[in-house]
Amino acid sequence: MAVSQEYRDPWVLGGLGLLLVLSLGAIQLYRSSPQSLAEARTRSLVAARPDAFTPNLQRAEERLQAAAAAREVGSDSAADVAYAMAAEHAWRARSAAPDEAAISAATEFWAEAMLQRAQLLQEAGTGRGLRRDDNAILRDALALAEQVLAVPTSPETRERAEEVQAAITRQLRFGPLQWLP
């Protein structure tokens, strides 16, 4: 079967090649989900880079700082999103870690982001005044603390996760039982 004459034009083949390259670039950019133009320039290559540990851990640190800044100004929803993204990047760094020390560092960073998010959700789910506690949000916070307990972490992090888990479990008790130890 012969290729038709219309596909032999060099402009058609060049255009199809350019379309393919731009499509692959758009897929990489979409996959990295940048938050700013500066991230879009660098982050689309992070997933394809052989050493993805360091950039992902740096992104996690940036997100954790952004969450702290959002919490300072009172934007709990922005802080929640930033904590979730920090945990995701730390988990990606953990999966791309070259050795056990890097795995441990990324795991600790992931656990810190998860516990900070659990505490934020605990505060958001706590009723103020005569308003009832939001048990769905508290259960989400409890699930985050339990995820941290399911992964091997340092004794200090494990102890902190157990404290957060106990506080949320106590808060989920019925009525005035939440004030009992």
Q: What is the pLDDT along the chain (181 residues), one digit of tens a residue?
A: 455 665 667 777 788 888 889 888 887 767 666 666 666 655 555 555 557 888 999 999 999 999 999 999 999 999 999 999 999 999 999 988 888 999 999 999 999 999 999 999 999 888 776 677 788 999 999 999 999 999 999 999 999 999 999 999 988 876 665 555 5
Task: Enter the pTM of the model.
Answer: 0.69
Q: How far apart are CA 148 and CA 158, in angstroms?
A: 8
Tokens standing for residue 141: 């916070």
Q: How far apart are CA 151 and CA 163, in angstroms?
A: 16
DSSP state of 7: G
